[in-house]
């Protein structure tokens, strides 16, 4: 890819979906949640400040590097420590990406217009302090309000995970509410995300066809995972089927929190996601892994066990 | 109030609702949006970086101080510039509060459990870098998921504005979706926010009664605005009535974006909010005011005009 601009903060050479698919093929479907909540810092004997955060993240990153493909920092636990906490997040995300990990910033941002564009630039522009491979976003303002983030994801070859059917029970009053045609809110989100992937794949196939003609490498983008995914709880995937929510169209990556310490077994995940499980599902584990720390061997052993369990 | 702990970062002496009510009585119902979007920085001849942000905010704050009661920084436009941008936000919020302005951080955060608590601590704890008087929050994960933020608001005498019926049309597919009883998502949010205020007022009245008995100052909290408000678009307030959404219960402050440059006139607001307008509605104006800058006299004159228009 000699046509890419060189530089420290260059745009990735392939789509987020393609990078995620490759990471899942190499390392499995486990995403490790980087959740430095007050209790875990205390359990690990770390201070409740930016120095404690930094040490916590260094240990988790060391355990993850070359063992898993994806990490998911929980932004709130950095923001809690103000500017210094976000400085740590910035360093940790950069270090993780340099080590070959994909980073999903779990920030659940959501707004409209130029404000949504501001968040998307903050988290998806590779030149920014908070550059991540993908960002979680919230569609309370309607899926259409996320368009500036979809545009930014396309431009920066980054990804989005849109909150759809989350694992907390109180989410259902919003996510399973219906329009006059009986379609659920989560169902509309799923349909719109799938459509975004289908149209991105179509556009990429046109470029790939052109690239082939010029002897560049022909990637069949239709085979890749899409770059626009959903957050669907490990414990709520079964609800999708029951409510006519289609998770299988559009090659959407499905980020599933709620595994392990938070309630769902690998068997629950396989049953809940059905045919989507093998190709689309990235399973997040935070507390189940982190509770094994701070000893490095215990962390890596918890990771290996989860990888095996989910394979 | 000799019982308050002294210190730079002390908790306010009265509830956010009481502070907001007093600010609206002294200064009127205008909230000035601090929205340093790319176009306005460029229009004002400022650089697209933290220095540009800082200069922009200094001018807007100078125009607002002692003229309006409330400002609303749009967090995305600071986050866009990474750690340095958030450092500016931290300084601006502190300076605004020292000047007697109430600060509503428009961050639209929303998550569950300890993660939601992390965001609430980040924005509502008076000792934090991002200490604000109130925070906007998103209920896509269900109103119940906001409980840690309600608890933090109570503890820190801060406020929340929960997204309910926003002014962007694509929000309706979520906000006007209904449960099996035909209640809309926005309606459930309104009912839950009102209930939170009613129970906080009841608790405060018990304390006030106790305080009276001990010769401390007897505040009738039931007369105050509540501290848990809603975001209801200036252009969508009329929809509330049409969909049976009750905005009048629970003394909820109603933050209304969408005035002026964004579409609604003062007359639209009065008609849309009806009887709620005079006591509950805080009207945000961002672009309508900011477009008058960067000259100080033009900014203050635009503010005076909006105050008059909305009175």
**Average pLDDT of the residues in A7-16:** 79
pLDDT at B3: 36
Q: How far is CA A258 from CA A41, A285, B112, B297, in A?
A: 21, 7, 12, 55
Name the residue with higher pLDDT: B209 or B31: B31
| Shortest CA gap A80–chain B (Å) | 4
pLDDT above 70 for B214: no
Q: What is the pLDDT averaged over residues B104-123?
A: 98
Q: What is the pLDDT of residue B298?
A: 98
Scored b (16 or more CB within 10 A) or e, B262-272 reads: bebebebbeeb
CA distance B266 to B274: 12
Q: Confidence class of residue A3 from pLDDT cuts 50, 70 and 90?
A: very low
Which A residues in the span 186-245 are in contact with B, Cβ-Cβ below 8 Å? 188
Lowest-confidence pick of A46-60, A218-232, B126-140, B175-189 = A218-232
In chain B, pLDDT over 70 holds for what percent of residues? 92
Which residue from B minimizes the CA distance to A176?
Answer: B179
Q: What is the pLDDT of residue A217?
A: 44
CA dist B80 and B37 (Å) reads: 10
CA B192 to CA A23: how far, in whole Å?
43
Q: How much is the average pLDDT of A133-143?
A: 98
Does residue A214 sit in helix, strand or coil?
A: coil
Checking if the pLDDT of B307 tops 80, the result is yes
Query: A interface mutation test: which of B173, B178, B181 has the most A CBs within 10 A?
Result: B173
pLDDT in tens, B224-272: 899 999 999 998 999 999 999 999 999 999 999 989 876 899 999 999 9
Q: What is the mean pLDDT of residues B188-213?
A: 82
The pLDDT assigned to B260 comes to: 85
**What's the whole-number mean pLDDT along residues B119-139?**
98
Catalytic site residue from A108, A109, A156, A188: A108
Region A150-179: mean pLDDT is 97
Q: In the predicted model, what is the mean pLDDT of residues A20-26? A: 97
Test the B interface: residue of A48, A72, A82 with most B CBs within 10 Å: A82
- Residues A180-190: b if buried by 16+ CB within 10 A, e if exposed: eeebbbbbbbb
**Is the predicted pLDDT of residue A230 greater than 90, yes or no?**
yes
CA distance A208 to chain B (A): 32
> Does position A239 have pLDDT exceeding 50, yes or no?
yes
B108 tagged catalytic: yes
Contact B282, B254 (CB under 8 A): yes
What confidence score (pLDDT) does residue A23 get? Answer: 97
Q: So what's the pLDDT on residue B219?
A: 43
Q: What is the ipTM of this complex?
A: 0.94
Select the residue of B81, B84, B168 nearest A145 (Cβ to Cβ). Answer: B168
Which of A87, A111, A138 lies closest to B83 in CB terms? A87
Residue A145 has pLDDT above 60, yes or no: yes
A46 pLDDT exceeds 70?
yes
Q: How confident is the model at residue A8 (pLDDT cuts 50, 70, 90)?
A: low
Of A295-309, B79-93, B233-247, the range with the lowest mean pLDDT is B233-247
Give percent of chain A with pLDDT exceeding 70: 92
The size of the A-B interface in CB pairs under 8 A is 173
CB atoms within 10 A of CB A298: 14
Residues of A within 8 A of B90 (CB-CB) are 82-83
Interface of B with A in 116-145 (CB under 8 A): 116, 118-119, 121-122, 128-130, 138-145
Q: How confident is the model at residue A206 (pLDDT cuts 50, 70, 90)?
A: confident
Choosing from B108, B109, B157, B188, the catalytic residue is B108
Task: Please give the pLDDT value at position A68.
Answer: 98
pLDDT at res. B208: 64
Would you say how long chain A is, in residues? Answer: 311
Q: B211 pLDDT exceeds 60?
A: no
Mean pLDDT of A206-224: 56
Q: Is A179 on the interface with B (CB under 8 A)?
A: yes
pLDDT top residue among B11 and A304: A304
Residue A292, SS3? coil
Q: Are the C-beta atoms of residues A235 and A260 closer than 8 Å to each other?
A: no
Using a pLDDT cut of 90, give the percent of chain A over it: 85
The pLDDT value recorded for residue A284 is 97
pLDDT of residue A292: 97
* Long-range CB contacts (within 8 A, 24+) of A123-126: A124/A149, A124/A152, A124/A153, A124/A156, A124/A158, A125/A152, A125/A156, A126/A9, A126/A10, A126/A11, A126/A12, A126/A156
Average pLDDT, integer, range B39-61: 98
Q: A160 φ, ψ to 5°?
A: -130, 145
- Give per-residue pLDDT as tens, B266-303: 999 999 999 999 999 999 999 999 999 999 999 999 99
Residues 151-170, chain B: which have Cβ within 8 Å of A?
163, 166, 168-170
Q: pLDDT band at residue A12, thresholds of 50, 70 and 90?
A: confident
The C-alpha atoms of residue A135 and residue A31 are separated, in whole angstroms, by: 14
Average pLDDT over residues B129-134: 98
Nearest residue of B to residue A73, measured between CA atoms: B115
Asked if A79 has any chain B CB less than 8 Å from its own CB, the reply is yes
pLDDT (average), residues A261-270: 89
Residue A211 — pLDDT band, cuts 50, 70, 90?
low
How far, in Å, CA of A300 to CA of A306, rounded?
10
SS (H, E, C) chain B: CCCCCCCCCCCCCCCHHHHHHHHHHHHCCEEEEECCCHHHHHHCCCCCCHHHHHHHHHHHHHHHCCCCCEEEEECHHHHCCHHHHHHHHHHHHHHHHHCCCEEEEEEEECCCHHHHHHHHHHHHCCCCCCCCCEEEECCCCCHHHHHHHHHHHHHHCCEEEEEEECCCHHHHHHHCCECCCCCEHHHHHHHHHHHHHHHHHHHHHHHHHHHHHCCCCCCCHHHCCCCEEEEECCCCHHHHHHCCCCCCHHHCCEEECCEHHHCECHHHHHHHHHHHHHHHEEEEECHHHHCCCCCHHHHHHHHHHHHHHHC
Instruction: Please give the Cα distance from B95 to B131 (Å, whole number).
Output: 11
Residue B163 forms beta bridges with which residues?
B231
Window from A201-210, A221-230, A259-268 with minimum mean pLDDT: A201-210
Contact A90 B82 (CB under 8 A): yes
What is the pLDDT at residue B203? 83
The chain B residue lying nearest A162, using CA atoms, is B140
pLDDT of B222 higher than 60: no
* More confident of the two residues B103 and B2: B103
Nearest to A173 among B90, B110, B142 (CB): B142
pLDDT of A215 reads 45
pLDDT at residue B12 tops 90: no
* Min Cα–Cα distance to chain B from A186, Å: 9
Select the more confidently predicted residue: B199 or B48. B48
Candidates A82, A109, A139; nearest CB to B174? A139
């Amino acid at each position: 890819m000699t046509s890419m601009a060189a530089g420290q903060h260059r745009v990735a050479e392939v789509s987020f979906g393609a990078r995620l698919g490759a990471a899942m093929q190499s390392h499995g479907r486990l995403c490790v949640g980087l959740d430095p909540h007050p209790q875990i810092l205390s359990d690990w004997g770390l201070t409740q400040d930016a120095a404690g955060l930094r040490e916590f993240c260094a240990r988790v990153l060391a355990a993850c590097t070359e063992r898993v493909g994806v990490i998911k920092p929980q932004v709130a636990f950095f923001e809690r420590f103000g500017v210094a906490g976000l400085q740590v997040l910035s360093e940790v995300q950069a270090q993780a990406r340099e080590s070959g990990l994909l980073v999903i910033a779990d920030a659940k941002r959501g707004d409209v217009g130029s404000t949504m564009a501001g968040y998307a630039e903050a988290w998806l522009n590779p030149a920014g302090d908070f550059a991540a491979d993908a960002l979680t976003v919230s569609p309370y303002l309607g899926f259409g309000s996320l368009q500036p983030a979809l545009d930014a994801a396309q431009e920066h070859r980054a990804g989005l995970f849109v909150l759809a059917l989350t694992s907390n029970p109180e989410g259902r009053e919003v996510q399973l509410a219906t329009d006059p045609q009986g379609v659920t809110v989560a169902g509309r989100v799923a349909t719109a995300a799938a459509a975004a992937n289908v149209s991105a794949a179509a556009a990429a196939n046109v470029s790939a066809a052109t690239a082939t003609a010029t002897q560049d490498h022909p990637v069949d983008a239709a085979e890749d995972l899409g770059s626009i995914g959903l957050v669907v709880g490990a414990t709520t995937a079964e609800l999708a089927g029951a409510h006519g929510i289609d998770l299988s169209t559009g090659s959407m990556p499905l980020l599933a929190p709620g595994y392990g310490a938070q309630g769902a077994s690998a068997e629950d995940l396989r049953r809940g996601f059905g045919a989507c499980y093998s190709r689309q599902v990235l399973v997040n584990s935070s507390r189940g892994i982190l509770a094994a720390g701070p000893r490095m061997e215990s962390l890596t052993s918890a990771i290996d066990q989860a990888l095996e369990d989910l394979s």
